[in-house]
Amino acid sequence: MNGFWNKLSKPIFSLAPMADVTDVSFRFLLANCMGKPNVIFNEFVSADGLARNREALISKLGYSTQERPIVAQFFGSKPEYFYESAKVANELGYDGIDINMGCPSRKVLSPKQASGAALITNPPLAKQIVQITKEALNFEKPVSVKTRIGFDKIEIEEWIPLILSSEPACLTLHLRTKKELSLVPAHWKHEILDRIVELRNQISPNTLLVGNGDVETYEQGIDYINQFKIDGIMIGRAVYGNPWLFNKNLVIQYQPGTINPTEKQKQLLDQQFKISNGLIIENENQLLIEITLKEVLTTMVKHIIILEILTPFKPIRVLFSHFNCYLKCCSNLGDTSNLKRALLECQSSEQVLIQLNNYLLFKNKSDQLLNYSEIKLSVENLINNSTLIR
């Protein structure tokens, strides 16, 4: 049962499940920012915790219908808890379930949990979890797996055939071992991926293959898909503070300075030059669209307001990793360290906006000032016109 996966147009781009990053606020923002990927994964949730204390974790499974198709990812090591958690996600209307077999965190790997990448060392249990999760869904919705290419070493011949034999709808491979964490470059190599594709074709030809690791741009993802003949790409860290990443036509405005423009910003600058000079532009149906400095900072404030409305129990400091990335658009305006320190002290979206406006005034960007009332009203209208499953 591949469910919605078989209906996706290729190439497939998916949002990686990341704790406290791909929460309901960011996913809602992403789904409404003209940059929605083909598939959205929820931040991973403990199957054990959800089964034993549903009320404590159920809020992590909230979503909006704009996010579809949306997949709930669980980690754990007890098949019976995966069964119960899959039932909960199914009741909430999730389009599929993904099983985390790749998280390298010490807490997740601990003997008490023996979850995440630890399942690589216990293939019989890994297969049992896939099977019982399929049973919980009555084989009517797809079950996928996200894993790594080995535990202490690369184990293509040992691990990949075993997990493929469970016939997941999609197999997402983080191209590092557990031991490597993110300390070495991901193994985007033909000797690895060519063999994985070959094994997929032999063992479970209906399983989609998605690569993950060190993909920074949409264009890089397309290059890897074409080069390694895989079905798609999952992007994680590069999406911090960049909900436009999955839209190939959107480009963040370049601010002149010591940092050179990216290739895409160069293309945009060239396009703008040609338009202003009445020159012919090739592929007019694929014109790049500029995301201005004001739009980036407005989106940052929107992100915080969404968090405050949908998850009022969360402090805004959980978004600080996003803040640093949103502020990259200001890099050529000068040092942002004082601004970042000021943002750390903020307790609300309105306080953040005040600090941003103070910074813009200091940088003589008064034409970019943000209006809090307008931003908040637009967010409230967006949420009021959305269907939220909670």
The catalytic site residues sit at 103
CA–CA gap between residue 354 and residue 64 (Å, rounded): 29
Nearest alpha carbon to residue 180 among 117, 125, 235, 233: 117
Q: Of the candidates 250, 255, 338, 244, which has an alpha carbon nearest to the alpha carbon of residue 300?
A: 244
**How many C-beta atoms surround the C-beta of residue 336 within 10 A?**
19
The residue with tokens 């911090």 is 240
Helix, strand, coil in percent for the chain, rounding step 5: 50, 15, 35
One-character DSSP codes across 13-25: EEEPP-TTTSSHH
8 Å CB contact between 212 and 13: no
| Residue 176 identity (one-letter amino acid) | R
Interatomic CA distance for residues 1 and 4, integer angstroms? 9
Residue 285 token pair: 């149906």
3-state DSSP assignment of residue 281: coil
Please report, for residues 119, 340, 343, the alpha-carbon distance to residue 167 in angstroms, rounded to integers and kept in the order given: 16, 47, 47
